[in-house]
Amino acid sequence: MAGHSKWANIKHRKARQDAVKGKAWSKCSRAIMVAVKNGGADPETNLTLRYAIVDAKAVNMAKDTIEKAIKKASGEGSEGVTYEEVRYEGYGSGGVAIIVDVLTDNVNRTAPEMRKLFEMGNGNLAKPGSVAFGFSSTGVILIEELNTNEEQLMDVALEAGANDFVLAEGLWEVTCEPQEYLRVRQAFETAEIAMVSSEVTMVPATQVDCDATLGAKILRMIEGFEDHDDVQNVFTNANIPEEAMEE
């Protein structure tokens, strides 16, 4: 099963996130707190909280730090801060589609800051829904080619509920429906197959192929969003070449 990975660019973003653990922990804590406030403190019945805990563990967030965030959101030591989930959609250079998900305690502050970041990247903010329709929420797990093989993936991934897997750019890319994500991820952990990354993300139906110059511009734009404290995730349909990531 060979093909082109729609999400190979995740390698760049994950590597960068690993270099800024402190900020990643802060974002994870906020996601956990919002999940608890919206759906309760029990991860067995709150799927969003389970996702948030998995993401926190992926950036090596300590167990007691995760528990503190859950207790804080449950009312123990709460400071009364309420976060709102907002999605901003727009375009960057070359017509590249960009989706930015934020958790903010002040939309009136965050909205103009998101607009400014789009404009700084030679892009523009669009109406809600005008970009997201070209993406689908999908569980995506990346595994180094040498860590598994097609036969094992058939046994482990597809048996656990994955939709498909492809080999591209030295990585096995396993995709599944969001509701099957935790089960598929657990299957790999049980089989002791190391994962490069795993998450429920927004996968584009089509991609915009970028040359090195355009790719570098889009990466700088993405990094500008990711540096903002309110931003949780950034998704794009840009197909960015390796040489752009090295600039």
pLDDT per 10-residue tile (average), the chain, 247 residues: 43 50 76 87 88 85 86 67 89 96 93 96 94 94 93 94 90 93 94 90 92 92 91 91 72
- What is the side-by-side order of every strand in the sheet holding 97-104? 124-125, 84-91, 97-104, 231-236
62 occurs within a structural domain: yes
Q: What is the pLDDT of residue 12?
A: 46
79 occurs within a structural domain: no
Query: What's the farthest any 2 CA atoms get from each other in the chain?
Result: 52
90 occurs within a structural domain: no
63 occurs within a structural domain: yes
Do 126 and 90 contact (CB within 8 A), yes or no?
yes
Do 10 and 197 contact (CB within 8 A), yes or no?
yes
Distance of CA 12 to the CA centre of its chain: 12
How many CB atoms sit inside 10 A of residue 35's CB? 23
What CATH number is attached to the domain comprising 69? 1.10.10.200
191 occurs within a structural domain: no
Query: How many structural domains are present in the chain?
Result: 1
Give me the sign of the Cα torsion angle 220, 223, 229, 230.
positive
32 occurs within a structural domain: yes
Q: What is the pLDDT of residue 142?
A: 92
Residue at token pair 């903002």: 228
Measuring CA to CA, how many Å separate 1 from each of 5, 6, 72, 174?
11, 14, 46, 11
Q: What is the pLDDT of residue 131?
A: 95
Distance separating alpha carbons of residues 18 and 39, to the nearest angstrom = 28
240 occurs within a structural domain: no
Q: What is the pLDDT of residue 198?
A: 87
pTM, two decimals, is: 0.79
Range of the domain at 44: 13-73
Distance separating alpha carbons of residues 143 and 153, to the nearest angstrom = 10
Paired residues of 138 in beta bridges: 201
Q: What is the pLDDT of residue 74?
A: 77
